[in-house]
Amino acid sequence: MSLFNVYPLFDITPVTAKDVYVFDEKNTKYLDLYGGHAVISIGHSHPKYVKNISEQVSKMGFYSNSIQNPLQTKLANKIEELSGCEGYELFLCNSGAEANENALKLASFHTGKKKIVAFKNGFHGRTSAAVAATDNAKIIAPLNAQQEVEILELGDLVGVEKTLAKNDVCAVIVEFIQGVGGLDESTTEFYEGLEALCKKYNTSFIADEVQSGFGRTGDFFAFQKHGVTPTIIPIAKGMGNGFPIGGILIHPSIKASFGLLGTTFGGNHLACVASSTVLEVIEEENLMENVKEISAYFVEKAKSLPKLKSLKGRGLMLGLEFDFPVAELRKKLIHEYKIFTGSAKNPNLLRILPSLTVKKEHIDVLFDALKSEL
Ligand SMILES: Cc1ncc(COP(=O)(O)O)c(C=O)c1O
């Protein structure tokens, strides 16, 4: 049976990986500044992560959500401690799209309304409501297009108020730093305005932290820079360092009841151990401090880069924007310099999403390569 061909692939086959490096079948070493799309947070094959998951799978890998699972409570408590988001409750699922889908569904249950407000260049995943809230007509099937969604310009508070005032909107969903779209971020005034309007019109305020959360920006969540309080916070990617896990943090204003949400695999034993280990390592190795330090170093180095139009993003969610398409440069970085980087919807943007363990010497390798190519 052949594979359903939905991805354009680089002809590289990684078979092992260690911290910020991956190795192919011929043992060629690649510097991974992409982290498998912002997923690798504590480094590939971190020894504590390998040990904890191995020990857990040898005891018990899975049971359904019909029994007590203290590993879920442990994870919830640790997220609360490191994020400082007090009083929220945790629902666990398996991916970013699923987290957003559950967030939107919960918002609809809670408010009794069904329309979504989302923003241009936003990306929220490929499931039913999440994809409908994503600004990319090519990935929305007619089935998904049945959802009622208003896509507005990021920053357009007047448009948001006009739409919310009709009183049929269950949720406003926003990435505080757009990932796939190209690392745009609006102002604190805009995000505060969104929060106020959501309160005024009984609408859930969803902060999609699937890519930007779990320490990637140097804060636990990207929204925290703006001092707002979202109603629902979807999380995934860096949460499991590669083990599939997602979740939503739910503000205490929304009350749980049996049957409201559910999943077979979400919150399974292995996923909980993976994510708790990620949090322990972030804390023990001071990784959020490392993010700030390396990010500042990157910003400084970028100043002397020729042909750079702008530097976007923050923390270790960064983009180098040039005034030419970067596809060829990216290929050269991979094949000639053995460095993985990411692309974005904006064709001129090179995305840098390394493990939070990355060091200055790795950033130097990237800039040396860029300088000799530009
Ligand atoms: C902000 C954001 N939300 C949601 C998703 C979807 O996550 P997943 O691919 O795990 O379904 C992504 C994936 O890139 C994302 O960047």
User: For the segment 17-56, what is each residue's pLDDT rounded down to a tens digit?
Assistant: 999 999 999 999 999 999 999 999 999 999 999 999 999 9
- pLDDT for the residue 348: 97
Report the atom number in ligand 1 closest to the C-alpha of 244.
Answer: 10
Q: Give pLDDT tens digits for 100-143.
A: 999 999 999 999 999 999 999 999 999 999 999 999 999 999 99
Residue 140 three-state SS: coil
How many domains is the chain built from? 2
Does residue 7 belong to any structural domain of this protein? no
Q: What does the pLDDT average to over 259-287?
A: 98
User: Looking at the DSSP assignment, which residues form a beta bridge with residue 171?
Assistant: 116, 204
Indicate if 227 and 363 belong to the same structural domain. Answer: no
Q: Is 123's C-beta closer than 6 angstroms to any atom of ligand 1?
A: yes
If asked whether residues 60 and 149 sit together in one domain, one would say yes
| Residues 366, 279 share a domain | no
Residue 99 counted as domain residue: yes
Q: Which domain holds residue 315?
A: 14-18+29-46+286-373
CB proximity list for 254: less than 8 A, separation 6 or greater: 106, 110, 204, 231, 232
Same domain, 291 and 273: no
pLDDT of residue 67: 96
Taking CA atoms only, the protein residue closest to ligand 1 atom 7 is 96
Q: Of the residues 284, 317, 341, which one is the last residue of a structural domain? A: 284
Q: Where does the pLDDT of residue 287 fall: very low under 50, low under 70, confident under 90, or very high at 90 and above?
A: very high
Say yes or no: CB of residue 125 within 6 Å of ligand 1: yes
Q: Following DSSP, what letter does each residue of 230-281 receive, concatenated?
A: -SEEEE-GGGTTTS--EEEEE-TTS---TTSS--SSTT-HHHHHHHHHHHHH
Of 266, 284, 302, the one marking the end of a domain is: 284
Mean pLDDT (whole number) for 339-368: 97
Instruction: Give the tens place of pLDDT for each residue, 232-247.
Output: 999 999 999 999 999 9
Q: Does any ligand 1 atom lie closer than 6 A to the CB of residue 317?
A: no
Q: Which of 7, 34, 124 to mutate to test the pocket of ligand 1 (most atoms within 8 A of CB)?
A: 124
What pLDDT score was predicted for residue 152? Answer: 98
At 373 the pLDDT is: 94
Sequence-ordered list of residues with C-beta below 8 angstroms from that of 276, at least 6 positions apart, any chain: 52, 71, 74, 75, 78
Structural domain contains residue 23: no
Rounded Cα distance between 281 and 41, Å, is 10
The number of residues making up the chain comes to 374
Question: Mean pLDDT across the chain, nearest whole number?
Answer: 97
> Residue for token digits 């939070």?
356
Note whether 310 and 353 are same-domain residues: yes
Give the mean model confidence (pLDDT) for residues 261-281: 98
Q: Please indicate, yes or no, whether residues 266 and 129 belong to a single structural domain of this protein.
A: yes
Q: Is 97 in the pocket of ligand 1 (CB under 6 A)?
A: yes
Can you give the CATH number for the domain in which 360 is found? 3.90.1150.10
**pLDDT of res. 298:** 98
pLDDT digits (tens, 9 = 90+) for 326-339: 999 999 999 999 99
Residue 8 lies in a domain: no
Confirm or reject: Cβ of 179 under 6 Å from ligand 1.
yes
Asked which of 284, 312, 343 is the last residue of a domain, the reply is 284
Q: How confident is the model at residue 228, as a pLDDT?
A: 98
Measured in Å, residue 94 CA sits from the centre of ligand 1 at: 11
Q: Own/partner pairs for 323-331, CB < 8 Å, 24+ apart?
A: 323/348, 324/348, 326/350, 329/370, 329/373
Query: For residue 240, how far is its CA from the centre of ligand 1 (angstroms)?
Result: 14
What was the pLDDT predicted at 110?
Answer: 98
pLDDT at 365: 98
What pLDDT, on the 0 to 100 scale, is given for residue 106? Answer: 98
pLDDT (average), residues 250-256: 97
236 CB near ligand 1 (under 6 Å): yes
6 part of a folded domain: no
Whether 276 and 329 map to the same domain: the answer is: no
- Shared domain check, 185 and 156: yes
Ligand 1 pocket, 175 CB below 6 A? yes
Give dist(CA 292, CA 274) in Å, integer.
24
> What pLDDT is attached to residue 74?
98
Q: Ligand 1: does its nearest atom lie under 6 Å from the Cβ of 211?
A: yes
Ligand 1 centroid vs 304 CA: distance in angstroms? 32
* Residue with CA at minimum distance from ligand 1 atom 16: 211
Tell me the pLDDT tens digit for each residue of 163-215. 999 999 999 999 999 999 999 999 999 999 999 999 999 999 999 999 999 99
Q: Say what percent of the chain tops pLDDT 70.
A: 100
Atom number of ligand 1 nearest to Cα 125: 6
Q: What is the pLDDT of residue 127?
A: 98
Q: Under DSSP, is residue 302 helix (H, G, I), strand (E, B) or coil?
A: helix
Task: Please tell me the distance between residue 124's alpha carbon and the centre of ligand 1 in angstroms.
Answer: 5
- Residue 126 alpha carbon, nearest atom of ligand 1: 11
